[in-house]
Structure 1
Amino acid sequence: MLLLTGRPPMSSPKSPRAKSASALRRRVLRAAPVCAGLCATALLALAGPASAHVKVFSDDARQGRPATLRFRVPSERTAAVTVRVDVSFPEDVAPASVPPVGGWTDQVERPGPDGRTHVVWTARAGHEIASDDVRSFTVEVAPLPKDASVSFDAAQTYSDGYVVDWDEAQHGAAPPAFPAPVLVLDAAAYNAEQARAQATTAAPHPSVSAAAAQTASASGSGSGTGSWLPWTVAGVALAAAAGTALVRRGKPPTASGH
Structure 2
Amino acid sequence: MRLTHVVRAGVAAAAAAIAALAFPAMAGAHVTVNPNTAVQGGYTKVTFRVPNERDDASTTKLEVAIPTDKPIASVSVKPVQGWTAATETSKLATPIKTDDGEVTEAISKVTWTADANSAIKPGQFQEFDVSLGPLPQTDQIVFKALQTYSSGEVVRWIDEPAAGAEAEHPAPVLKLSKKADTTAASTTSSAAPALTADSGSSSNNGTAIGLGIAGLILGLAGLVVGVLAYRRTPSPTA
Alignment match, 1:10: none
Matched, 1:32 2:23: no
AA matched with 2:84: T
How many percent identity over aligned positions? 35
Match of 2:64 among 87, 92, 105: 87
Greater strand proportion: 2
AA matched with 2:23: A
Matched, 1:104 2:83: yes
Q: Which aligned segments of 4 or more residues in structure 1 are displaced greater than 3 angstroms?
A: 26-30, 236-239, 244-255
Change (3 A) 1:42 1:73: same
Change (3 A) 1:30 1:154: same
User: How far is the alpha carbon of 1:159 from its aligned partner?
Assistant: 1.4
Trace 1:44-63 onto structure 2 (pairs within 5 A): 44-51=22-29, 53-58=30-35, 61-63=38-40
Match of 1:152 among 136, 143, 152: 143
Quick one: distance in 1 between partners of 2:219 and 2:5?
A: 12
Alignment match, 1:167: 158
> What's the CA shift string for 1:210-246, capped at 9, x where partnerless?
xxxxxxxxxxxxxxxxxxxxxxx9xx87852432554
Alignment match, 2:109: 118
Structure 2 residue ranges without an equivalent (≥5):
92-105, 182-211
State the TM-score, normalized to the length of structure 2. 0.65
> What's the CA shift string for 1:84-133, capped at 9, x where partnerless?
11101112334432110010011111129xx9611111101110011221
Q: Which has the higher contact order (CA 8 A, sep 6+)?
A: 2
Aligned length, in residue pairs: 184
Quick one: distance in 1 between partners of 2:161 and 2:75?
A: 28
Quick one: distance in 1 between partners of 2:218 and 2:34?
A: 39
Structure 1 residue ranges without an equivalent (≥5):
1-21, 190-232
Alignment match, 2:209: none
- Aligned-CA RMSD value: 3.4
Change (3 A) 1:94 1:251: farther
